[in-house]
Structure 1
Amino acid sequence: MSKYEEVREELLGDTRDFSELNAPNAVVQSFAICTYNLRMIKQLIETEEEYAKHIEDRHKFQHKLVHRAVNSFRSTYILLSHNCYNSCYRELRHQYETYLTLKGVNTDDSERVARKWREFRVQLDALVGGTDEFPFFGFKYIDYLRSRRASGKDTLENEYKSYGEMYGYLSERAAHPFRIDGSYLDGKYNEPQMGENVYFSLFILFGVLKEYERALQDTPVPELLEEEFEMTAEQANSVFPYEVPVFLHEYL
């Protein structure tokens, strides 16, 4: 065995496949299936003319947000497989803020959304060399999406104080190294920690799915892909606990 192989084995540790039939693994399995299904829905919409022809400028921010969310959900599954719970919180915060941004864009005037997208395209097209050469370029759409996220976040936190506390917890575990009480959780299987991560990611995935469907409600796409949307929602619902976060109530 080479030194690299030895180090790689040490760094990655044991990998779980969650295939054993028990209650905790069933949630991870459903989460993985939902992630795959959401990815397939997104890919159908962007690659098949039957669906892609209905996607206009007013839908494109939402589509890009879902694309990023799918990659984040996939990362969560990989991190759970390696017992990297603290890293999962970084994905959780990203997913939660993506959901809030998606919801905020969906509640904005569709013509304004389309106009902001077109402004972004004009800025992007003017960059000779693209973002590879100008990675720090200050696109105006960033401030727009930031404002939509703030709108969604404020709406929830004003109605439910606990959401401000939850956001603080996610920030401390994910973006800021303040929660040192969880420093030694990584590297070995921890069922409560895994459950917290996977359940919350699944809740957010369900919200993203519903907001994606809502973003396209002025097109035939949700009806054309009704079976796919419903199948994914039912897969998530099949392992939901009796109580779910209040932000999901409007979808259930």
Structure 2
Amino acid sequence: MTDWFDGYEELLSEQSDNTRDFDLGSENWLKGRTLLTSVESLKLAIDYVNDHAGNYTDEEELLQYLMSRKSVHHFESCFVLLRHGLYNPSRTQIRFLLEMYLLLKGLNRDKKQAARIYDETREQLHNMGSEPLTGTRLRTINEFDSIVKSERDALKEDEYQLLWQHTSNSAVHPYSLESIEIDNEYSKSIEGSLLDAVNVFAFGISAQFVKTWSGTPVYWDLMKLIDPMIVRIRTSSIGAPPPLFDEDLDLWFPEFSDWQLRLAQNRR
């Protein structure tokens, strides 16, 4: 985990008496450990791009790279929050991951647009948080919002509503029954459901990260790096991913990926 992770964990531990370890004694230990494996696999893939993909990376990939790297902190936040029974803040992080996944799909669908946005905002992207909002940044935010909305509108209404409801921070809605949940009180079912959601978004975001380099030699190496994550997620009782991830199913089934991998290696 990253350096900030330990400090965040220590801060929450001081404020909570409900810290749980995802070990063999816990009900959702496999799902919790799967999340750790997923985060580490994504970080390995990002590090591999840092070290080996320079010749295959330009403006069409850099924005997706920055966004995927940012998502790592949100996966780690989910892990820490769920360990402490903080379910509503976890939902906020999952909502971010949902929108990040939709954004990555949209950027990969139109890499020319991704390159243009990166080229227009590269300096501000690298200094994000240290500069005031500018007209260019506001236009970029609006563009990101339009990309997410376009991907969202392509979903079936019932599918979208279910996803949106599941990732909503229900505590902010006083009229919802869920708002009476008291955070920091352990619930096996809520914890398991939220871990399932985080893990399936780990698959989706990692799949889109790999697909950012489709058509390049590093694509197959990245596939191999995330394959252990996919196998682990498949065996943690999630079942088939929701229809939202249909475009990524070619990476969901290891037997199909292995066949692709062997074919690609034979062609080298």
TM-score range relative to shorter protein? 0.7 to 0.9
Structure 2 partner of 1:152: 151
Give the whole-Å Cα distance in 2 for the aligned partners of 1:238 and 1:174.
31
> Which aligned pairs between 1:2-17 and structure 2 lie closer than 5 A?
11-17=15-21
Structure 1 partner of 2:58: 56
Q: After superposing the two structures, state which structure 1 stretch, 140-149 or 71-80, moved more.
A: 140-149
- Deviation of 1:21 after TM superposition, in Å, equals 5.0
- Deviation of 1:135 after TM superposition, in Å, equals 3.0
Structure 2 partner of 1:196: 193
> Which aligned pairs between 1:15-164 and structure 2 lie closer than 5 A?
15-21=19-25, 24-46=28-50, 48=51, 50-108=52-110, 110-121=111-122, 124=124, 131=128, 134-138=131-135, 139=137, 140-156=139-155, 159-164=156-161
| Structure 1 length-normalised TM | 0.83
| Runs (5+) with no aligned partner, structure 2 | 1-10, 253-268
- Alignment partner for residue 208 of structure 1, among 205, 210, 221? 205
Give the whole-Å Cα distance in 2 for the aligned partners of 1:197 and 1:230.
22
Identity %: 22
- Deviation of 1:243 after TM superposition, in Å, equals 4.4
Deviations 1:88-146 (A, max 9, x none): 000010000100111111111x2232122101126x39x9xx55553323413222221
Structure 1 partner of 2:5: none
> Does structure 1 conserve the Cα–Cα contact (< 8 Å) formed by 2:38 and 2:229?
yes
Q: Is residue 207 of structure 2 the alignment partner of residue 218 of structure 1?
A: no
Deviations 1:26-50 (A, max 9, x none): 111111111111112112212x1x2
Q: Is residue 175 of structure 2 the alignment partner of residue 173 of structure 1?
A: no
**Paired residue type of 1:136:** L
Give the whole-Å Cα distance in 1 for the aligned partners of 2:129 and 2:13.
34
Give the whole-Å Cα distance in 2 for the aligned partners of 1:8 and 1:26.
23
Structure 1 partner of 2:226: 229
> Does structure 1 conserve the Cα–Cα contact (< 8 Å) formed by 2:53 and 2:218?
yes
Give the whole-Å Cα distance in 1 for the aligned partners of 2:236 and 2:78.
18
Give the whole-Å Cα distance in 1 for the aligned partners of 2:41 and 2:207.
13
**Paired residue type of 2:114:** V
Give the whole-Å Cα distance in 2 for the aligned partners of 1:9 and 1:165.
33
Give the whole-Å Cα distance in 2 for the aligned partners of 1:204 and 1:104.
15
Q: After superposing the two structures, state which structure 1 stretch, 178-187 or 142-151, moved more.
A: 178-187
Structure 2 partner of 1:3: none
Give the whole-Å Cα distance in 2 for the aligned partners of 1:22 and 1:13.
16
| Runs (5+) with no aligned partner, structure 1 | 1-6
Q: After superposing the two structures, state which structure 1 stretch, 170-179 or 184-193, moved more.
A: 170-179
1:238/1:226 Cα in 2 relative to 1: closer, same or farther (>3 Å)? Answer: same
SS state at 1:171 partner: coil
- Deviation of 1:175 after TM superposition, in Å, equals 6.2
| Structure 2 length-normalised TM | 0.79
Give the whole-Å Cα distance in 1 for the aligned partners of 2:197 and 2:140.
28
